[in-house]
Amino acid sequence: MMKLRDILRVKGHDVYTVRPDQTVQDAVKILMQHRVGALLVEDAERRAVGIITERDVLRECVDRAAELSHVPVREAMTRDLIIGVPDDEIGYTMGIMTQNRIRHLPVMDGDHVAGMISIGDVVKATLDETEYENRYLKEYIHSR
């Protein structure tokens, strides 16, 4: 069974971050610069304290679009982090992400951020795993 560590081995361990005292406008710039959908929010000691996603930014736009350059990330971020660990299996992870309606999942290895995966990464890994299994079964059947 494929695990999150397998996705990170291919995708890499880069995680883009923002501080809670930066503005939502700053977060938007970082999101656009790196073409990602979420940023991990880290405090001064580099501890994960939340996540800010495109959805969080849009929520702020409804009420305070003109103020994004003044709204601190801490007011827009999601504080209750749902995380994965490197040994989580892909199927389990897909269930957690679907159940909680999240598209981005920080992967923590103890206190260390191991990476960030998206639902797209999980779907791709599932498709890759299914393709491998299909090929293996076809080869097995044809070799008999």
Domain count, the chain: 1
User: What digits encode the pLDDT tens for the residues 43-91?
Assistant: 999 999 999 999 999 999 988 888 889 999 999 999 999 999 999 999 9
- Alpha carbon distance 47, 79 (integer Å): 12
**CATH number of the domain to which 75 belongs:** 3.10.580.10
Q: What's the average model confidence in pLDDT over 6-10?
A: 94
Give me the domain span that covers residue 31: 4-142
Distances, alpha carbon 39 to alpha carbons 49, 87, 144, in Å: 11, 22, 51
Specify the DSSP element, H or E, that contains 42: strand 38-42
